[in-house]
Amino acid sequence: MPEGGFNKWEHMILKGEFPERKRILEGLTVEQATKQPAPGMHTIYNELWHAAGWAEIVINRDSELEKNWQVFPPKQAETQQEWDKLVAHFLSLLDKMMEFTSKPENIHVEEEPDVTVEDYVDCLIMHNTYHLGKIVAMRQMIGAWTPKEQNKK
pLDDT average, residue stretch 57-68: 84
DSSP-derived 3-state class of residue 2: coil
Q: What is the pLDDT of residue 63?
A: 81
Percentage of residues in the chain having pLDDT higher than 90: 67
Confidence of residue 134 (pLDDT cuts 50, 70, 90): very high
Q: What is the pLDDT of residue 147?
A: 62
Confidence of residue 39 (pLDDT cuts 50, 70, 90): very high
CA separation, residue 85 to residues 50, 60, 80 (Å): 14, 19, 8
DSSP tag of 13: I
User: Is residue 56 predicted with pLDDT exceeding 70?
Assistant: yes
Residue 28 falls in which region: left (phi positive, over 0), alpha (psi -120 to 50) or beta: beta
Q: What is the pLDDT of residue 107?
A: 86
For the chain, which domains are there?
8-145 (1.20.120.450)
Q: What is the pLDDT of residue 38?
A: 94
Q: What is the pLDDT of residue 108?
A: 87
The pLDDT tens digits for 1-38 are: 446 688 999 999 999 888 999 999 999 999 999 999 99
Cβ pair 117, 109 in contact under 8 A:
yes
Average pLDDT along the chain: 90
pTM for this model (two decimals): 0.88
E-only strand ranges, 6-129: 110-112, 115-116
User: How far apart (Å, rounded) are the C-alpha atoms in residues 19 and 148?
Assistant: 12
User: Is residue 150 predicted with pLDDT exceeding 90?
Assistant: no
